[in-house]
Structure 1
Amino acid sequence: MTDKTTEKTVELDTPILRGKTEIKSIVVRKPQSGALRGTRLQALMDMDVNAMITVLPRVTTPALTTQEITEMDPADLVSLSVEVVTFLLKKSVLSDLATA
């Protein structure tokens, strides 16, 4: 994992098969505002599947396709979505969560 504030690696419960390559982990980057276009912030905070399908290809390495996301294990989608939502929170909110 690199800088904790800008990237997070998520280990997948169910690897994604892309051709002959098995993807076992995904790096989620903190989205810039442009990566959020076409979605509503509230939908992202609610971890709305359609909003995540829009944003995840823009902030993941390797870049996930829409088809890969729609066929993904729901537990893995939740894990990736939690990281996206966490990146949207202010640092003060995160520090409050850490002490709660």
Structure 2
Amino acid sequence: MSQAQNATTAAEKTADIDAGQTVADGTRATIALDTPIVRGEQRIDEIVLRKPSAGELRGVNLADVLQMQTDALIKLIPRLSQPSLTEHEARQMDPADLVQCGSDIAGFLLSKRARGETA
């Protein structure tokens, strides 16, 4: 990919984030939060979720994750988020933000073939 194409892709990703959308590359997803999380004087406007390893899925029913069950997501978000959110912060998330996180986490569990990507 040329430098011009890289710059265009970076600009498109930034525009997507500004529009409140998710930008994902298969191993990470940047989510612009509809409702920022306030931690003391810090305001968290976006989080990055990373693809979980098998060990990070320990104790979580994968079917619950794929069905975006709230308890499963609240358990996983602190394990996968940057900045690292607490379980309490995950419980206090705006429902729209929780659904977006769940959608991205569920997407991480799909194979490239299921996502329509080539290997």
Q: TM-score, normalised by structure 2?
A: 0.76
Q: What amino acid is aligned across from residue 33 of structure 1 in structure 2?
A: A
For 1:60 and 1:53, the matched residues in 2 are separated by: 11
Cross-structure match for 1:67: 88
For 1:74 and 1:9, the matched residues in 2 are separated by: 17
Q: What amino acid is aligned across from residue 53 of structure 2 in structure 1?
A: Q
Does 1 or 2 have the higher relative contact order (CA < 8 Å, sep 6+)? 1
Q: TM-score, normalised by structure 1?
A: 0.90
* 1:75-86 equivalences in 2 (<5 Å): 75-86=96-107
* 1:5-44 equivalences in 2 (<5 Å): 5-44=26-65
In the alignment, is residue 52 of structure 1 matched against residue 73 of structure 2? yes
Judge which range, 68-77 or 2-11, deviates more: 2-11
Q: Which runs of 5+ in 2 are unaligned?
A: 1-12, 14-22
In the TM superposition, structure 1's runs of 4+ consecutive aligned residues that sit over 4 Å from their partners are: none
Contact 1:30 1:84 in 2 (8 A): yes
Looking at CA atoms only, which structure, 1 or 2, has the larger radius of gyration? 2
Percent identity for Structure 1 against Structure 2: 42
CA RMSD of aligned residues (A): 1.7
For 2:24 and 2:68, the matched residues in 1 are separated by: 24
Q: Which runs of 5+ in 1 are unaligned?
A: none
